[in-house]
Amino acid sequence: MAALEGTMWWFRALHARLLDQVSRAGLAPGQAVLDAGCGTGGLLSRLVAARPDLALAGLEYDAEAAAVAQAKTGLPVITGSVHAMPFADASFAAIISADVLCHAGVEPGQALAEFYRCLRPGGLLVLNLPAYQWMASAHDAHVQNARRYTAGAARRMVQAAGFATVTAGYWNSLLFPLMLLHRLVAGHGRAGSDVQAFPPWQDRLFFTATAVEGRLARAGLALPFGGSVWIRARKP
């Protein structure tokens, strides 16, 4: 992940989606933003480049990944769990968490309760999650994904945690037929993760598809299916 998250189409597309959510939030300079489950710092790197005026920080369970993220970004990255975040109540104006609630080691309700506690009133929560349990594959086993979501189930889960104005939908829709074909052909026996270097032409093609889809989404055109679920919510 550390080697590929700056170049691979999937990470670039994911980070572009999350940055778009942050840009739409209207965060004022100096406001605190947390990447909860920041991994090796790919999103934090994009955030600090786009919004160096924000007070950015990361939280990561794996100490080695946290050290890589801190070295990569120069930002404070705390080693800790989303089940008991080492921050005071109402610490953040926004919390972003990408593909964390799906992890086998995470209890989603407990993590959402901590996100709620650490957000200030009116604070923004942005989540990304893998879509459709029936799309689970060897990749999920490799990265320890225990659950995948529909947009409706994700929205209800976040509402149940007390968040308001919860919206959810799908993205990575244009490439979804190829994803489905890959799952059908590869099955559950493929030994590795889907995180890998692609031929440059293929990487450009896939990223272009996600960029076109992003522009359509900003214009109000989105498909009711996709490889990932996005969630946007506010703490009352």
Taking only the tens place, the pLDDT of each residue in 67-106 is 999 999 999 999 999 999 999 999 999 999 999 999 999 9
If DSSP codes are grouped into helix, strand and coil, which group holds residue 52? Answer: coil
Whether residue 2 is contained in a domain is answered as: no
Parts of the chain with a pLDDT under 50? 191
Residue 193 token pair: 């993760």
Whether residue 3 is contained in a domain is answered as: no
Whether residue 40 is contained in a domain is answered as: yes
Please report the pLDDT score of residue 137 as a whole number: 78
What are the backbone angles phi and psi of residue 140, rounded to the nearest 5°? -60, -40
Share of the chain above pLDDT 70, in %: 96
d(CA 183, CA 190): 10
Whether residue 117 is contained in a domain is answered as: yes
Please report the pLDDT score of residue 122 as a whole number: 97
Whether residue 128 is contained in a domain is answered as: yes
Whether residue 205 is contained in a domain is answered as: yes
Whether residue 55 is contained in a domain is answered as: yes
Whether residue 1 is contained in a domain is answered as: no
- Indicate the pTM of the whole model: 0.93
The total domain count for the chain is: 1
Please report the pLDDT score of residue 111 as a whole number: 98
* Containing structural domain, residue 143: 9-234
Please report the pLDDT score of residue 145 as a whole number: 83
Amino acid letter for position 38: C
Please report the pLDDT score of residue 143 as a whole number: 77
Residue 63 token pair: 């100490």
Please report the pLDDT score of residue 188 as a whole number: 53
230 alpha carbon, distance to own chain's centre: 8
Residue 130 token pair: 């893998």
CATH of the domain at 170: 3.40.50.150
d(CA 58, CA 71): 12
Share of the chain above pLDDT 90, in %: 81
What are the backbone angles phi and psi of residue 171, rounded to the nearest 5°? -145, 180
